[in-house]
């Protein structure tokens, strides 16, 4: 009797859903497939499922969505489907105009939500697939949405965690012998950034004015920044926070890391050079920081985990964690001049080049008792590899303005010019699919006249 039941169940299983696309026959049995169709190089397959905050012309209220294929799944419309033990009575988090409350729920709730999304978007499930009216309300075309900042960012911290970048900068300014500061390999150097000027991809960025000292020993002058730069970074959002005075141990830090975005830490190099001693970069950074709109979860990245960057010397024990928390994320930067037909890819780097992990950054940040809060953003610092074409800033690519960077069509750059658009991209290559971050773009406007 039991065997008959099993046979019956097996027959039911292999005969549903009603339609099996041909490709499915060649897929591995456990490969995920969505009923939303998309090509294999789509950034938002069912293996990704990043969260963002969007609005539409028809409904301008910012709300939470998940990108899938060329669609956005509006979570306000399907929140009733999140009825597991952790989310069942907290569905209101999906009605918020930011992700902070969802981030605050913690990693078990995020996993529960992901499981729901994977199920209802799966080709094997009828909850959404079989309900035309619900689908109609739940999906909007990705091309039609306006994106907003994914979280209310209470504090923004920027680290300096690429050994190649820090070494390059050190060589340029202090020579090879003193390239890395004595503290660099002992702690993840970082500084507080400006939260108010974090903007979403697509926001124009105005060339700043400021003080610079163009001629050493001469008094400073005031005018438009002449050495405008980008910095290729990856940032993460904090989930649950910690109480003031209660550090987060490195081993558990991943429970506080919700997901990642691309970050362009626009920098005014000439303003930076004059202002930064002794208290660090300030106005050189706070005129704008651009982020990509779709937060790729730690869960989605987990299958792209690679070993941590080897550290020497071994860090102090409060910075140690036993697990790998490094990811193979291909990163690219394009520049598109105003008159160019095509953008030029000038950087090919990778997240895995980072020396310090996100868990180490987070643990270090709280070790003095500093309180992180849901929605805080911690960025990696410029991510450069060993090879010149992997350097994550014009400062390094042009080697302090001594070399020209070649663009398609013959034009060259040492730093960013007015009208240039800078576009950061990131993606992880899976087996027959890829997951992406969307784009982190900004076009440079000329400095305001007469400031």
Please give the positions annotated as active site: 165
Q: Give the rounded distance of the alpha carbon of 20 from its chain centre.
A: 35
Residues whose CB falls within 8 Å of the CB of residue 282, separated by 6 or more in sequence, listed in order: 275, 276
Under the binding rule (CB under 8 A), the answer on residue 313 touching a second copy is yes
Q: Compare residues 267 and 326 and give the one whose CB is closer to a second copy.
A: 267
Under the binding rule (CB under 8 A), the answer on residue 444 touching a second copy is no
Q: Which of 51, 102, 237, 287 binds a second copy (CB under 8 A)?
A: 287
Question: Is the CA virtual torsion 410, 414, 417, 420 positive or negative?
Answer: positive
351: annotated binding-site residue? no
Contact range with a second copy by CB under 8 A, out of 78-86, 104-112, 211-219, 292-300: 211-219
Under the binding rule (CB under 8 A), the answer on residue 393 touching a second copy is no
CB of 99 to a second copy, least distance (A): 18
Contact range with a second copy by CB under 8 A, out of 61-69, 114-122, 267-275, 332-340: 267-275
User: Which x/- pattern over 90-109 shows residues binding a second copy (rule: CB under 8 A)?
Assistant: --------------------
334: annotated binding-site residue? no
Count Cβ neighbours within 10 Å for each residue of 335-352 and write b for 16 or more, e otherwise: bbbeebeebbebbebbbb
Q: Classify strands 257-264 and 405-406 as parallel, antiparallel or unpaired.
A: unpaired
Number of residues counted as binding a second copy (CB under 8 A): 66
Using DSSP's 3-state secondary structure scheme, residue 420 falls into coil
| Alpha helix segments (H runs only) across 239-379 | 269-275, 283-286, 298-301, 358-366
Under the binding rule (CB under 8 A), the answer on residue 270 touching a second copy is no
Q: Classify strands 156-159 and 377-379 as parallel, antiparallel or unpaired.
A: parallel
Under the binding rule (CB under 8 A), the answer on residue 247 touching a second copy is yes
Under the binding rule (CB under 8 A), the answer on residue 265 touching a second copy is no
Range 224-243, binding a second copy (CB under 8 A)? 225, 241
User: Which x/- pattern over 19-38 shows residues binding a second copy (rule: CB under 8 A)?
Assistant: --------------------
E strands along 246-325, which residues?
A: 257-264, 267-268, 289-291, 296-297, 305-306
Count Cβ neighbours within 10 Å for each residue of 235-257 and write b for 16 or more, e otherwise: bbbbbbbbeeeebbebeebbbbb
Question: Is the CA virtual torsion 364, 367, 369, 374 positive or negative?
Answer: positive
38: annotated binding-site residue? no
Q: Give the rounded distance of the alpha carbon of 434 from its chain centre.
A: 15
Under the binding rule (CB under 8 A), the answer on residue 364 touching a second copy is yes
255: annotated binding-site residue? no
**Cβ-based neighbour number of residue 82 at 10 Å:** 21
Q: Taking a C-beta distance cutoff of 8 angstroms, is the pair 451, 209 a contact?
A: yes
CB of 231 to a second copy, least distance (A): 13
Q: Which of 19, 196, 322, 402 binds a second copy (CB under 8 A)?
A: 196
Contact range with a second copy by CB under 8 A, out of 218-226, 295-303, 385-393, 404-412: 218-226
Under the binding rule (CB under 8 A), the answer on residue 271 touching a second copy is yes
CA distance 446 to 451: 12
Under the binding rule (CB under 8 A), the answer on residue 167 touching a second copy is no
Q: Compare residues 76 and 203 and give the one whose CB is closer to a second copy.
A: 203
- Alpha-carbon torsion, ordered 46, 47, 51, 52, to 10 deg: -70
Under the binding rule (CB under 8 A), the answer on residue 320 touching a second copy is no
Q: Which of 43, 47, 112, 155 binds a second copy (CB under 8 A)?
A: 155
Under the binding rule (CB under 8 A), the answer on residue 214 touching a second copy is no
Residues whose CB falls within 8 Å of the CB of residue 285, separated by 6 or more in sequence, listed in order: 158, 193, 194, 265, 266, 267, 268, 272
265: annotated binding-site residue? yes
CB of 20 to a second copy, least distance (A): 51
CA distance 408 to 336: 9
**Cβ-based neighbour number of residue 216 at 10 Å:** 5
Q: Taking a C-beta distance cutoff of 8 angstroms, is the pair 33, 27 a contact?
A: yes
Contact range with a second copy by CB under 8 A, out of 12-20, 109-117, 285-293, 323-331: 285-293
Binding-site residue numbers for substrate are 160, 174, 272, 276, 382
Query: Which stretches of the chain bind a second copy, using CB under 8 A?
Result: 154-155, 160, 181, 183, 186-187, 189-197, 199, 206, 208-211, 213, 219-222, 225, 241, 244-247, 268, 271, 274-284, 286-288, 313, 316-318, 364-365, 367-373, 376, 445, 448, 451
Residues tagged in the binding site annotation: 158, 160, 174, 231, 233, 265, 272, 276, 285, 289, 382
């Amino acid at each position: 009797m039991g065997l008959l039941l099993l046979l019956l169940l097996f027959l039911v299983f292999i005969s549903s859903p009603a339609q099996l696309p041909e490709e499915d026959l060649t897929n591995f049995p456990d490969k995920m497939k969505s009923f939303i169709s998309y090509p294999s190089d789509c950034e938002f397959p069912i293996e990704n499922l990043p969260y963002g905050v969007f609005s539409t012309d028809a409904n301008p209220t910012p709300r939470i969505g998940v990108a899938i294929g060329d669609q956005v799944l509006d979570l306000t419309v399907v929140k009733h489907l999140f009825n597991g033990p952790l989310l069942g009575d907290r569905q209101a988090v999906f009605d918020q105009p930011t992700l902070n409350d969802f981030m605050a729920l913690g990693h078990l709730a995020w996993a529960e939500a992901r499981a729901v999304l994977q199920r209802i978007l799966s080709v094997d499930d009828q909850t959404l697939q079989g309900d035309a009216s619900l689908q109609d309300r739940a999906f909007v075309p990705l091309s039609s949405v306006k994106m907003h900042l994914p979280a209310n960012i209470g504090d923004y911290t920027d680290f300096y965690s690429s050994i190649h970048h820090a070494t390059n900068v050190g060589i340029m300014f202090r020579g090879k012998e003193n390239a890395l500061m004595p503290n660099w390999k002992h702690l993840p150097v970082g500084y507080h950034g400006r939260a108010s000027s974090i903007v979403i991809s697509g926001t124009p960025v105005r060339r700043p004015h400021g003080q610079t000292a163009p001629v050493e020993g001469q008094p400073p002058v005031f005018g438009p920044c002449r050495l405008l730069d980008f910095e290729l970074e990856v940032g993460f959002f904090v989930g649950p926070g910690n109480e003031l005075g209660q550090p987060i141990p490195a081993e558990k830090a991943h429970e506080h890391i919700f997901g990642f975005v691309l970050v362009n830490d626009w920098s005014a190099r000439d303003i930076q050079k004059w202002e930064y001693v002794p208290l660090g970069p300030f106005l050189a950074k706070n005129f704008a920081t651009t982020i990509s709109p779709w937060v790729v979860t730690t869960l989605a990245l987990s299958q792209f985990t690679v070993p941590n960057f080897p550290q020497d010397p071994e860090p102090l024990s409060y910075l140690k964690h036993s697990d790998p928390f490094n990811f193979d994320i291909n990163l690219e930067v394009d520049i598109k001049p105003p008159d160019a037909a095509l953008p030029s890819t000038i950087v090919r780097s990778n997240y895995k080049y980072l020396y310090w992990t996100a868990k180490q950054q987070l643990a270090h940040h709280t070790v003095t008792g500093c309180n992180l809060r849901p929605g805080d953003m911690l960025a990696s610092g410029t991510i450069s590899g060993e090879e010149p074409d992997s350097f994550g800033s014009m400062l390094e690519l042009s080697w302090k303005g001594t070399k020209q960077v070649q663009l398609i069509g013959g034009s060259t750059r040492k730093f960013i010019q007015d009208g240039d658009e800078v576009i950061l991209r990131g993606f992880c290559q899976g087996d027959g699919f890829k997951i992406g971050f969307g784009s982190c773009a900004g076009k440079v406007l000329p400095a305001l006249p007469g400031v």
